[in-house]
């Protein structure tokens, strides 16, 4: 029977989120994480656990059908040409969000990309960096490093760096300051362009639809509250991303109604405080485990 071969990072930032997503999609695996190859017990899916940098070429060559990889790695490999150029994003997965940024010593004179002309930049993303600057008419020397890029300016290996940033703490700790965003990235599901095998695509469709449900429900909440009847419209207007809340009567009360709503945007404390200020009471925010629409 046909099985879909899916490449996932064996360990690291994409591995956690990737395995978590697959488990929420209902896939069950018999073995621990240390196996190179894992077979899902309840869907025709086989995992190949590899380094993230190898995932685009494994999918491009046909060794795997699909892969979960950072968009940053995908784009870097695609710029290198060859087979990865034939890959496409099947679904954006909403985790491992990070940005690729240009940064330079805080005390130095590099403040914008115009100051980079003729300078040396250390990065693990040489093609993305060079192309981004070339498109803006700036020529630089690129030093490729596979890790610890943030130490390059201190070691006088480079004048500036182009590196992944999430919180900015690593830059800060190394006396660096970001001044330009080259790319905003997240984990993506990739495949070869073109029609593909019908059976594989049918399995992929199940995975994609379930993933969409998992991603949507991650930020979606179910809100329950009691609202004074005369404040109902104001309270409905405050519910973030709610389509059509259910309004039900409360036994023995005609001044209060119960409101139930699926909110498709993040629910902040500020929102709850605003609801309370409008007279809402007994406010409950519940997570939604699964959604299928």
Query: 84 or 245, CB closer to ligand ATP?
Result: 84
Q: For the CB of residue 102, give the shortest distance to ligand ATP in the complex, in Å.
A: 16
Burial (CB count within 10 angstroms: exposed 0-12, middle 13-18, buried 19+), residue 258: middle
Q: Would you say 189 or 283 has its CB closer to ligand ATP?
A: 189
Residues at the site binding Zn ion, with contacts judged by CB under 5 A? 52-53
Q: By three-state DSSP, how is residue 253 classified?
A: coil
Residues of this chain that bind ligand ATP (CB under 6 A): 9, 12-14, 51-53, 70, 72-73, 96, 98, 164, 166, 185
Q: How far is the CB of 251 from ligand ATP (least distance, A)?
A: 49
For residue 238, give the nearest of 284, 282, 276 by alpha carbon: 276
Q: What is the dihedral of CA 199, 204, 205, 211, to 10 degrees?
A: 160
Helix (H) or strand (E) holding 259: strand 256-263
CB of 243 to ligand ATP, least distance (A): 31
**Three-state SS annotation for 85-109:** HHEEEEEECCCCCEEEEEEEECCCC
- The option from ligand ATP, Zn ion, none interacting with 263 (CB < 5 to 8 A, set by class) reads none
| Residue 267 interaction partner, one of ligand ATP, Zn ion, none, beta carbon < 5-8 Å per kind | none
C-alpha dist (Å) from residue 17 to 93, 148, 182, 281:
9, 23, 24, 36
Shortest distance in whole angstroms from residue 271 CB to Zn ion = 39
Partner from ligand ATP, Zn ion, none binding residue 211, C-beta < 5-8 Å depending on class: none
Closest separation in Å from C-beta 58 to ligand ATP: 12
Number of residues that make up the chain: 293
Q: Which does 9 bind (CB under 5 to 8 A by kind): Zn ion, ligand ATP, none?
A: ligand ATP
């Amino acid at each position: 029977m046909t099985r879909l071969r899916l490449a996932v990072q064996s360990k690291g930032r994409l591995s956690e989120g990737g395995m978590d997503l697959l488990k929420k999609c209902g896939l069950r695996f018999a073995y621990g994480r240390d196996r190179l190859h894992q077979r899902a017990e309840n869907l025709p899916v086989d995992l190949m656990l590899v380094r993230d940098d190898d995932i685009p070429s494994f999918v491009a060559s046909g060794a795997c059908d699909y892969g979960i990889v950072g968009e940053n790695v995908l784009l870097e490999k695609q710029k290198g040409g060859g087979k990865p150029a034939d890959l496409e994003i099947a679904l954006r997965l909403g985790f491992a969000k990070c940005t690729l940024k240009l940064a330079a010593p805080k005390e130095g004179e590099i403040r914008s990309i115009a100051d980079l002309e003729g300078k040396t930049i250390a990065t693990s993303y040489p093609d993305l960096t060079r192309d981004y600057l070339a498109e803006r008419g700036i020529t630089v020397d690129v030093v490729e490093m596979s890790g610890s890029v943030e130490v390059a300016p201190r070691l006088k290996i480079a004048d500036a760096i182009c590196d992944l940033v999430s919180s900015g703490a690593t830059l800060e700790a190394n006396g660096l300051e970001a001044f330009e965003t080259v790319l905003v990235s997240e984990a993506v599901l990739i495949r070869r362009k073109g029609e593909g095998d019908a059976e594989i695509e049918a399995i992929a469709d199940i995975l994609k639809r379930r993933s969409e449900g998992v991603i949507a429900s991650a930020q979606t909440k179910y809100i329950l509250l009691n609202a004074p009847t005369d404040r109902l419209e104001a309270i409905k207007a405050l519910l973030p991303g709610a389509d059509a809340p259910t309004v039900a009567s409360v036994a023995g009360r005609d001044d209060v109604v119960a409101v139930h709503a699926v909110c498709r945007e993040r629910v902040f404390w500020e929102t709850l405080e605003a609801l309370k200020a409008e007279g809402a009471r007994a406010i409950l925010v519940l997570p939604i485990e699964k959604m299928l629409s």
